[in-house]
Amino acid sequence: MKRPRILIVDDSSVMRKIVERSLRQAGLELGDIVEAGNGIEALAAIREGAFDLILSDINMPAMDGIEFLRQLSTIEGAKGTPVVMVTTEGSESRVVEALSIGAKGYIRKPFTPDQIKERVSPLLEVLR
């Protein structure tokens, strides 16, 4: 079985490490994990190679998660990549906006490894 290649997008390097650790603690079989500090870096990483799953913050400098989602949908070969937003933006309009332009779900910070697993597992299961 192919091990999923995952992109973690967050302007906080600490949060990127925590998300990665949570994924590993969840017992998921993982392939490469690549990090990006904002939407621009994430798009550059995607152009270099496809990912099976993207976890992205919303509130970031340079290019936020909403604009990143919009631009992702214009990249041939990346359109179907599932994106889960990991954000402090609880229940409000920006989350709804992200879901309306293609995000497959969201995880609210603070989060537990179980919450990451619950949201991510079904998306990785499809790859089996």
Q: State the residues that interact with other proteins by CB under 8 A.
A: 11-15, 17-18, 21, 59-61, 87-94, 108-112
State the amino acid at position 31 in one-letter form: G
Specify the residue, 104 or 108, whose C-beta has the smaller distance to other proteins.
108
In angstroms, what is the minimal distance from the CB of 79 to other proteins?
A: 25
CB 102 within 8 A of CB 75: no
Closest distance to other proteins from the beta carbon of 18 (Å): 6
DSSP three-state, residue 92:
coil
Minimum CB distance to other proteins smaller for 18 or for 54: 18
CB of 80 to other proteins, least distance (A): 28
Look up residue 26 and give its two tokens. Answer: 């969840």
Residue 70 or 108 with smaller CB distance to other proteins: 108
> Rounded distance, CA 81 to CA 94, Å?
20
Closer residue to other proteins in complex, CB, 5/8: 8
Shortest distance (Å) from residue 17 CB to other proteins? 6
Residue 105 CB-density burial (10 A; 0-12 exposed, 13-18 middle, 19+ buried): middle
Q: Which among 109, 3, 114 has a CA at the least distance from the CA of 56?
A: 109
